[in-house]
Amino acid sequence: MKAQDNDHVPVLIVGGSLVGLSASVFLGRLGVEHTLIERHSATSAHPRGRGNNMRTMELYRTAGLEPDIREAAAILSKNDGILQVDILSGGKRRWIYPRITGKPPEAEKSSTFRCACSQNDLEPVLLDHARHLGGDVRFSTELVSFTQDERAVHAVLRSRDSGETYTVHTDYLLAADGPRSPARERLGIGHTGRGDLFHNISVTFRSKALRDVAGDQPFVVCYITDPAGEGVLLPVDNKEQWVFHMPWKPESGETIEDFTEDRCVEHIRAGAGVPDLDVEVTGKAPWHAADRVADSYRTGRVFLMGDAVHEMPPTGAFGSNTGIQDAHNLAWKVAAVLRGWAAPELLDTYEVERRPVAEATSARATLQASLEQHPGYSASQSAKTGTDLVTTALCYRYQSSAVVGGDPDAPTVPDTFELRGDPGTRAPHMWLTRDGAEVSTIDLYERSFVLLCGEAGADWRAVARTVAEKLDVPMDACLVGSSAEADLTVRGGADWAEIHGTTREGAVLVRPDGFVAWRAQRMPANAEQELADVLLEVLGRGSGR
C-alpha cells in the first residue's frame, strides 16, 4: 500500500527479523491491525539462528505455522547433535550433545519438539503468514524519529528507496530493532550484565568435498578446537553450502578487514584438516556474543522486544527464542487493551514478567558457552552443570499482577522440570480429543482465556460463561472428562486434575498465552464473584478481593 502522511495504525512494529515478524503473526492471529517496518530490503539471506526450542515451536504450532516451518527445515531434518573435534578430518571427536533436535526424552511434556530451521529459511515462512493475516509489512523502511504523548506515538518513517518521509501515528510502538537498538538508545535505556563475551566473523562458503570430510552422521553444529582452524562449522544444505564462525579479537586491534578471503580460506582448510580443500567464500559478517539485559522494557507507549532488550550467547539456542516469547507475551496484552477488555495497567506486567526470564536465561546461556567450550570464549565457570536446557526453555515462571495465587518465593527457573499447573507457569500439556480430533491442551490457548474443569466440578462451566458475558471478556469454559457432556475427552485414563495440580472439583484458569492465571482446588460458595474478581485483577481492572 502507498504510505500516507499522518496515517494511524493501532500497532507499529519496528524490525522485521524473527522477533518482529513473529509479533506480526501473533497480532494478526488476534485480529490486531498493525504495520511492520524493516530497514533492509528483504528477509535475511544469511543462515543463522537455527535453533527453535520446544516452547517456541509450541507457539508456532498453536498459530498454525508448524507444518510450513518443518517443511522449510526439511534439509536439516536428519541433522542432530553438537560435535567437538580438534580437526574435522580425524583426531579426537566427541559428541557434546548427541541429540538436540527431534523428540527429546521430555516429549510427553510438550505438544511438539525442537526444530533446526535457519533464520533465512524461517523468516520467509513468518512473512508469508504475517501478510496472509493482514499485516502491512514494509521493507526498505526505517524509523527516523518518534515522539509520544498520552494518546499516541508519532513516528517519522523514511522509505530508503525513494527517500520519502512521512508520519505514522500509533497507539503502541513495538521495537524489535536489534542489539544496537536505535529505539532503546532514543529512550535512554541502559543495560546490565557481563557485556561482550566473545566475537566472531561468520563466513559463508561453498565446498563440495567437505561433505565427505564431515563424516557419516550429519551434525547441527561442530566445534573445531585446533588453534589453526578454531571455530564453529554449520551445514546449510548438507551438500556444498556451509557457515564457519571464526574467532575475532577486536580488543587486540583486529579489524574486519583483516579477515581477507585468503585468510578465511586457509583457516577453514586448517579446521577441516585438508590443505587443498575446495573453498569458495560467498560472504562474511561480524557478530558478537554478549550478556546484557536492558534496565527497562518500556517507556510510555514504546515497548522493546528481542535483542533490543537482551543479548546472550548462542549456546543453548536461547536468544531468538526468548525474543519470540517476548512478542507472544506482549501481543495478547496489547490486543486485550486495544479491545477494551483489559486496562492499560496490564501492559505493566510485560517487563515484570519477561525481564527476570531474560536474566535467568542469559545466565544459563553464558554458562552453556563455558560448558561447551565455545571457540573464542575462554572464561571459566566454577559450576560443572546447570539447570537442563529443556527446563530452562519450558519451566520459567511469571510473578506479576496478571497472576493470582502464585508462589512469591519460587525461582524464575526451577532446578528440575516442574509444570504442574502452578499459577504463573506454562499450563501443563496433555493429549485430549475434541470433536474427534487429537489436540494438546497447549493448542487451546491463544485467543481467549480458558477455564478447565472436570465432570465433578461441571458447574464451573456455567459460572465461567456468566462471568465472561458480564465482564465482556473472551473466555472458553471446557469440561474435561469421558462422558458425552465433556468438551474435551481424556485419553488413556489420564487424570487432568492431577496433571494440573487441582482436585476433581477444582478449576484452572489459563491466560491466552498459555500461562496459568489462577487455580481453584474446589468451587467456593461465591464462585461467580471469585472468578470475576480474579479476571478483573489479572486484566488490571481492579477487583473486590
- Listing DSSP states for 269-335 in one string gives HHHHT-TT---EEEEEEEEEEEEEEES-SEETTEEE-GGGTEE--STTS-HHHHHHHHHHHHHHHHH
Domain 426-538 has CATH 3.40.30.120: yes
Average pLDDT on 321-335 reads 98
Check whether 542 has a pLDDT greater than 90. no
pLDDT for the residue numbered 493: 82
Return the CA Rg of the chain: 24
Q: Which of 94-103, 166-175, 188-197, 359-368 comes out lowest in average pLDDT?
A: 94-103
pLDDT for the residue numbered 424: 98
Chain CA centroid to CA 187, Å:
24
Check whether 384 has a pLDDT greater than 90. no
Q: Which of 256-265, 270-279, 380-389, 466-475 comes out lowest in average pLDDT?
A: 380-389
Q: Which of 212-221, 223-232, 291-300, 527-536 comes out lowest in average pLDDT?
A: 212-221
pLDDT for the residue numbered 78: 85
pLDDT for the residue numbered 376: 81
> What are the grid coordinates assigned to 504, written together?
476433581
Average pLDDT on 219-228 reads 93
Chain CA centroid to CA 353, Å:
14
Check whether 2 has a pLDDT greater than 50. no
Sequence-ordered list of residues with C-beta below 8 angstroms from that of 500, at least 6 positions apart, any chain: 420, 421, 427, 428, 452, 508, 519
- Residue among 224, 192, 214 nearest 311 (CA): 192
Evaluated on CA atoms 76, 78, 81, 82, the torsion sign reads: negative
CATH 3.40.30.120 maps onto the chain at 426-538
Sequence-ordered list of residues with C-beta below 8 angstroms from that of 280, at least 6 positions apart, any chain: 205, 206, 207
How open is the CA angle 307-312-318, to the nearest 5 degrees? 85
CATH 3.50.50.60 maps onto the chain at 7-74+115-191+293-388
Q: How far apart are CA 232 and CA 374, in angstroms?
A: 8
CATH no. of 7-74+115-191+293-388: 3.50.50.60
pLDDT for the residue numbered 380: 56
Evaluated on CA atoms 174, 326, 113, 419, the torsion sign reads: negative
pLDDT for the residue numbered 313: 92
Check whether 387 has a pLDDT greater than 90. no
Whether 322 contacts 369, CB under 8 Å: no
Q: In this structure, what is the dihedral angle of CA atoms 241, 247, 252, 256, given to the nearest 10 degrees?
A: 10
Which residues in 98-210 belong to E strands, given as ranges? Answer: 115-116, 136-139, 141-148, 153-159, 165-175, 191-206
pLDDT for the residue numbered 77: 84
Q: How confident is the model at residue 81 (pLDDT cuts 50, 70, 90)?
A: confident
Average pLDDT on 491-500 reads 91
How do strand 115-116 and strand 51-52 relate by DSSP bridges? antiparallel
Q: What is the mean pLDDT of the chain?
A: 93
Check whether 421 has a pLDDT greater than 70. yes
Check whether 147 has a pLDDT greater than 50. yes
Whether 152 contacts 300, CB under 8 Å: no
Whether 265 contacts 281, CB under 8 Å: yes
How open is the CA angle 178-179-180, to the nearest 5 degrees? 95
Percent pLDDT > 70 in the chain is 96
Distance, first Cα to last Cα, the chain: 49
Is 154 in a helix, a strand, or coil?
Answer: strand
pLDDT in tens, 98-122: 776 666 666 789 999 989 898 999 9
Average pLDDT on 528-541 reads 97
